[in-house]
Amino acid sequence: VEFLYCDLASMKSIRQFVQRFRAKNCPLHVLVNNAGVMLVPERKTEDGFEEHFGLNYLGHFLLTNLLLDTLEQSGTHSHNARIITVSSATHYVGKLHLNDLQSRYSYSPHGAYAQSKLALVLFTYRLQHLLTANGSHVTANVVDPGVVNTELYKHVFWVVKVVKWMTAWLFFKTPEQGASTSIYAAVSPEMEGVGGCYLYNEERTKSADVAYDEDLQRRLWTESCKMVGISDESSRVP
């Protein structure tokens, strides 16, 4: 195991990380996008993005796009490189406000978090479409880890924290259990060559209906490229 620092809330840090990784000339067979914050008070990243959207979504969007070349070079016909992005069941109630992705007009921690998790699902489906269109030996899937007992809940109300403390052993997954579906997506032979899936408890399941809206997927991708400052090469793909 080798550690390389990367702050997903900083576009500069992400670009520096990618430079350091590429300098090692290593193949990249699996990328797991797992960083995140939840229900944080209204605040911005150093790039001026609302924190849920900037860290949970845009950070992973930029990181994945900057590493795509390496992933495509690493994948083969019999052993595809794999991209796994961790979303949440919260995406089912999420709404994507393309005219206000930064929640500037009306901020709600729950709404901003749900929007970021919906964006990750839309991103994954669009990414898989582009990978398939380009004939890339790379697959992209999105994972719902379930309700996991981690520090992600540190910003919830104190009453919820007490209830969580009392019931975690019964209703919450351990971090190891929460990671199982991501590991399944990353290494299972059953997922070889399979992309564009929403996975829960190591099984393919249906995501929110709005996540399958291809026009919304395209529009979010185009807007995301503008926000992180990369060219939108997907514009040539229907």
Q: Which of 57, 113, 184, 198 is catalytic?
A: 113
> Torsion-angle region of residue 9: left (phi > 0), alpha (psi -120 to 50) or beta?
alpha
Query: 11 with 60: CB under 8 angstroms?
Result: no
SS3 1: coil
Amino acid at 109: P
107 burial (CB, 10 Å; 0-12 / 13-18 / 19+) is middle
Q: Whose CA is closest to 126, among 187, 180, 83?
A: 83
Would you call 113 a catalytic residue per the annotation? yes
Q: Which residues are catalytic?
A: 113
